[in-house]
Amino acid sequence: MIESYLYLPPLLGIFGLLVALAIYIIVSRYPAGNEAVTKIGDQIHSGAMTFMRKEYSYLVPFAAVVIAIVYISGLGLYTAIAVFVGALSSAIAGWLGMYSATKANVRTATAASESGSETALSIAFYGGSIMGLCVASLGLIGLGGLFYFISADHPHSIEGFGMGASIVALFSRIGGGIFTKSADVGADLVGKLEAGIPEDDPRNPGVIADNVGDNVGDIAGMGSDIFESYCGSMIACIAIAGTFTVVADKSAMMFLPLALASIGLMASMIGIIIVRVFSSLSPASALRTGTIGAPIVFIAAAYFLINALLSDAITIAPGHVVAQINVWLAVLTGAVGGIAIGLITEYYTGSTPVVKIAESAQTGPATVMITGLSVGMQSVVLPIGIIAIIIYLSTELSGIYGVGIAAVGMLSTVGITMAIDAYGPVADNAGGIAEMAGMPPETRKITDELDEQGNTTAAIGKGFAIGAAALAALAIISAFVATVPTESGEPLVLLLSEPIVLVGMFIGGAIPFLVASITMTAVGDAAFEMINEIRRQFKEIPGLLEGTAEPDTEKCVDIATTAALKKMLLPGVIAVGAPPLIGLTLGAEALGGMLAGGLLSCVLMALFMANAGGAWDNAKKIY
């Protein structure tokens, strides 16, 4: 029976891409603005797409080497194909999302000037929605297509899809992050602090690079990151279900994550409609309604789907039978947990803690730093508690499969989640364009309101992505433990009493700090070069500060691009090379420990950094 439904996920993925195309056509029909506005928009669009082209020129040979190694290593042709499809799907999603977002930003600014807040919110959200739908749809097309063609004969080859997606996520996240932060630091330090000109002032040579960075970091980078977690959670479920002994239960449970992701895509489309319907309300209310509405629709639909696909009792291990309702409850824990993490992140990046940081500025920068760090550290506790509860409940309900299916539950509505996250950079760009084009103060007030909410939605997206990545990674580790036997042929068991496991845990825990150090150093080096270039232009270009001459913005974009592409390679090599190095030299137990240590360290650091940064960013807008 299951075989007759295998074509549906990729088919729905194609439908999702057609919906994304329709939304793009709607956005493109809004006016782009006058010549000054379109010129600025074209500069941002050109800079973003140039960065993407150069980044992919580095990515292609790296991915080709990995694919060749996979092919000759004994994993086989089908695994190599899966790696290629995973990388290609993620890269296309990032490209389409970036292209559409850099077309929506000018139209958002023009709408804020000519039509008001409601239309501006709709366009900005539509621009983000295209990225969200592309992520969800291409995940279903790529992974669903592989499942349709090769799951019967080569089920484990599908796992290569996750590796391909991870390669793109790694490069896009690191490269985009280095670009956006170096441009941000350079433009703000010289422009606002030294020259005393407003943020996004057209006289600032770094302002275009700053706006390009918003897109390459928070749209292409975040999109590929969530794409990898989205597909990774489904792959983990497929791998774990592949170890089941009862054939009927095995096929149904392997197909279930793809089926859930399919209805999640439809629920996301409903969420997008909800945001559009409520766009007359405040941006925060409209976006929150869509964020919560889509998972509610998904949870209800998931109940009937699971009831139709699964038998009343499922054998997940010899002697371990779980009820059908338990699987739905595991999905429920993931979906509810995702909403809770998003709301907690919203609190720490857009409520009382932000006001507290702003008030601390009355006594100087030192207290701002101290308060921001304390808020960031505190913001880690509740999300970690929720993740722990999800892990415990889902495992109790459905064994290790429950963790994977909970991650699928959290990520199935990735279409609306990514849409709301990508809305932030579009709104931020719109504010910058309004300032650079000299639009009236009323326009800037509208874009600032959209931008402030965009900072919060970006932080919510990061919190959601981190929580989902934690569950997806844990599910993948569980799949690794379930499917990889030790050299003796016995099942792999990770015991803290075994020194080799602890060795792996400490190595894994240290790697995120090393990668963070490398990337932060890269940002500092690139910002140093950017600052010197902006200072040079202010000094050497006559009339620049007076507004009678134009800055050389392309030079700053080139500095950020070159730095990002050069500095992203080493962290990528470390992340890709460390697991096989540890596994081949120290064994499967050490590798399992390394993955566990790396997971915990990554989640804690990521939540702290994302929430502290989001809170600081919003605090500066209060006074």
> Is this structure's pTM higher than 0.95?
no
The predicted pLDDT at position 506 comes to 94
Task: Determine the pLDDT at residue 277.
Answer: 82
Task: Check if the beta carbon of residue 376 is closer than 8 Å to that of residue 608.
Answer: yes
User: What does the pLDDT look like over 512-532, one tens digit per residue?
Assistant: 999 989 988 888 888 888 888
Q: Is residue 154 pLDDT above 80, yes or no? A: no
| Across 374-391, average pLDDT | 93
For range 568-597, the mean pLDDT: 87
Distance CA 512, CA 514 (A): 5
Q: Tell me the per-residue pLDDT of 316-348, one tens digit each, with 9 for 90 and over.
A: 766 677 888 999 999 999 888 888 888 888 888
Tally of CB atoms within 10 A around 28: 12
Instruction: Report percent pLDDT > 90 for the chain.
Output: 22
Retrieve residue 496's tokens.
């803290």
Distance CA 429, CA 449 (A): 13
Taking only the tens place, the pLDDT of each residue in 85-97 is 999 999 999 899 8
- The pLDDT-based confidence of 486 (bands split at 50, 70, 90) is very low
Q: Is 322 helix (H, G, I), strand (E, B) or coil?
A: strand
Q: Residues near 221 by Cβ (< 8 Å), separated by ≥ 6?
A: 172, 173, 175, 176, 177
Percent of the chain with pLDDT over 70: 95
Helix or strand run (H / E) with residue 347: helix 324-350
State mean pLDDT over 433-447: 82
When divided into structural domains, the chain yields a total of 1
In this prediction, residues 46-65 reach a mean pLDDT of 88
Task: Please compute the mean of the pLDDT values over residues 389-398 and round it to a whole number.
Answer: 90
Calculate the CA dihedral of residues 508, 512, 517, 522 and round it to 10 degrees. 120
More confident residue, 289 or 464: 289
CA–CA separation, 22 vs 48, rounded Å?
A: 23
Q: Which two tokens stand for residue 467?
A: 């929580």
Q: Which domain does 312 fall in, by range?
A: 2-619
- Which tokens sit at 504? 């792996």
| Average per-residue pLDDT for the chain | 85
575/587 Cα distance (integer angstroms):
18
